[in-house]
């Protein structure tokens, strides 16, 4: 049961990220990217280009005119929109709380069905 609980908690923490759009006109996004203000190496992104292609990857490096991932490179002037994956603390706490509550209820039900913790006599 301990392994199950640890596995659930790991899934909860790992899954609590969300894609946040980086707003602005394409020209503003391109300028912010070129200056290094918007993204950094290690950021997980979803990028749509002006020709409507969608790429999801982790940024490995950024040059003044190109963003590089492990297997892809995208010219900054071809980017139409960017979404950046970010950790969401609120959702993580909710998920952990509800998971703990669910595990607690399961343990109580299992304990009651097996007669564990019931007062003697009655």
At residue 6 the predicted structure's pLDDT band, cuts being 50, 70 and 90, is low
Strand 54-58: give its sheet, edge to edge. Answer: 17-22, 79-87, 44-49, 54-58
What would the mean pLDDT of 97-112 be, rounded to a whole number?
75
Residue 79 in tokens: 């980017």
In the chain, what's the furthest Cα-to-Cα distance? 78
If you average pLDDT over residues 8-18, what whole number do you get?
Answer: 60
90-104 pLDDT, tens per residue?
Answer: 666 676 677 777 777
Give the integer Cα–Cα distance in Å for 65 and 78: 10
CATH of 21-91, one of 3.40.640.10, 3.30.1360.230, 2.30.30.100, 3.40.50.720: 2.30.30.100
**Per-chain mean pLDDT for the chain:** 77
Q: What is the Cα–Cα distance from 62 to 73, expressed in whole angstroms? A: 9
Rounded to an integer, what distance in angstroms lies between the CA atom of residue 31 and that of residue 82? 13
Q: Which residue matches tokens 């970010």?
A: 86
């Amino acid at each position: 049961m301990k392994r199950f609980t640890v596995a659930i908690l790991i899934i909860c923490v790992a899954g609590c990220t969300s894609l946040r759009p980086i707003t602005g006109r394409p020209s503003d996004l391109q300028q912010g990217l070129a200056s290094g203000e918007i993204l950094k190496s290690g950021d997980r992104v979803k990028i749509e280009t002006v020709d409507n292609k969608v790429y999801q990857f982790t940024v490995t490096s950024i040059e003044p005119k190109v963003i590089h991932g492990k297997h892809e490179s995208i010219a900054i002037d071809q980017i139409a929109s960017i979404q950046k994956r970010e950790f969401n603390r609120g959702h993580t706490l909710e998920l952990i709380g509800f998971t703990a509550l669910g595990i607690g209820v399961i343990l109580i039900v299992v304990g009651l069905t097996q007669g564990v913790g019931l007062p003697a006599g009655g």
